[in-house]
Amino acid sequence: MAESVSVKMDDGKKIFKGKKFRVAIIGCGGIAQTHLEAYKSIPEVEIVAGVDILPERLKVMEEKWGVPKKALFTDWKKMLKEIKPDAVDVCTPNGVHCAPVVDACLAGCHAIVEKPMAMNPAECEKMIAAAKKGKVKLAVGFQQRYNPLTTALIKARDNGQFGKIMFVKCQALRRRGIPNWGVFGQKKLQGGGPMIDIGVHIIECAYEFMGAPKPVAASGNTWTYMGNKPSTVRNAWPNWDYKTYTVEDLAIGQIRFDNGAILQIESSFVAHIPKNDIFNFTAMGEKGGCSWENAEIYCDQNDLMVNMTPSFVSNETSWMPLFVTKLKNWVDGCTKGTKLGAPGEAGLAVQKMLDGIYRSAEAGKEVVIK
């Protein structure tokens, strides 16, 4: 294994300088494969171990990614003790995010965890506390905040294009898109359905665009009406496991912030809507508004109402470039001490909003977010 040398920054947190930044993958399923592809574009990273409870996934780590059999484990605690990686990348189901991150951070390993950060705010706080105690970096896998569409609108916001942002409407909607793999339909392992799985992404980048105001209250509702039943309707992802389906098909929520702004979110695995994949936020400000999906800005100029559409944004708005960017941001934060785009605190803020919507749906009334 390549040697790595630890040094300390002025604040006492560890960074690493050496031949390679040694990363262990915890949870080697589908999303981990995307991470591993992305790491191919980050040459300073060496994948030194894999952890999974399924032997077939560990076999892929060995045969496709070249991880030695002696560095493949079913227990992350054993892996941390024997391999002593510089960092871990946690790609497990949501219900298994907290424990390996806490153990890794307390062992002195940096960590990145896939979205959502955890099952609830209390778990997020535990993870943040462990990172602080271990003096390591903790990041959350929110790639859409690095999307050139998001960064372009943030720049326009910083330039005063929108003035005070009053209202943002978020949509992460599928007409028929229940995952037919993994455990996405099992609430005890995932914490919820489309709201926590895909809604989290558009909430997070919209929240970043808004300037991260403090959420103070949430209201919402969830409905399950198709996912828990067999279906003959033709679609791209048929034959999901309806017998174990315990999450919502559709979730609608609203968040109030301390500055008076409102964020609304619509998210579905199943909904009767015009097309299958709707992923967007629109915003209204005192001086202007915008639509995220094309970075279009609406404002008044020269006594005219004007819609401004960029002729070009970027070639790097697709899946893989965004994963490379988010992982590179984390690696640079760990190895160079640069600022994390999505630290644990950002994950906690988003988790509080998700938790508030689910709590409101259960209570049947608006709930306070603390």
Ordered by start, the domain boundaries in the chain are: 4-136, 155-316+364-368
Pairing, β 110-114 against β 21-26: unpaired
pLDDT band at 18 (very low <50, low <70, confident <90, very high): low
pLDDT of residue 316: 79
CATH architecture of the domain 155-316+364-368 equals: 2-Layer Sandwich (3.30)
Which comes out higher in pLDDT, residue 3 or 18? 18
CATH topology of domain 4-136: Rossmann fold (3.40.50)
Average pLDDT, the chain: 94
Mean pLDDT of 226-233: 96
Supply the pLDDT for residue 120.
97
With helix as H, strand as E and coil as C, how does the chain read? CCCEEEEECCCCCEEEEECCEEEEEECCCHHHHHHHHHHCCCCCEEEEEEECCCHHHHHHHHHCCCCCHHHEECCHHHHHHHHCCCEEEECCCHHHCHHHHHHHHHCCCEEEEECCCCCCHHHHHHHHHHHHHHCCCEEEECHHHHCHHHHHHHHHHHCCCCCCEEEEEEEEEECECCCCCCCCCCHHHHCCCHHHHHHHHHHHHHHHHHCCCCEEEEEEEEECCCCCCCCCCCCCCCCCCHHHCCCCCEEEEEEEECCCCEEEEEEECECCCCCCEEEEEEEEECCEEEEHHHCEEEEEECCEEEEECCCCCCCCCCHHHHHHHHHHHHHHHHHHCCCCCCEHHHHHHHHHHHHHHHHHHHHCCCEECC
pLDDT at 136 over 90: yes
Residue 337 has pLDDT above 60, yes or no: yes
Among residues of the chain, what percentage have pLDDT more than 90?
93
Q: What are phi and psi of 125, to 5 degrees?
A: -65, -35
Question: In this model, does residue 4 exceed pLDDT 90?
Answer: no
Summarize pLDDT for 309-335 with one digit per residue, the tens: 999 999 877 889 999 999 999 999 999
Compute φ and ψ for 21, nearest 5 degrees: -95, 110
pLDDT of residue 16: 53
How far, in Å, CA of 218 to CA of 235, rounded?
33
**Residue type (1 letter), 78:** K
Radius of gyration of the chain (CA): 21
In sequence order, the β-bridge partners of residue 315 are none
Per-residue model confidence (pLDDT) at position 5: 43
pLDDT of residue 304: 98
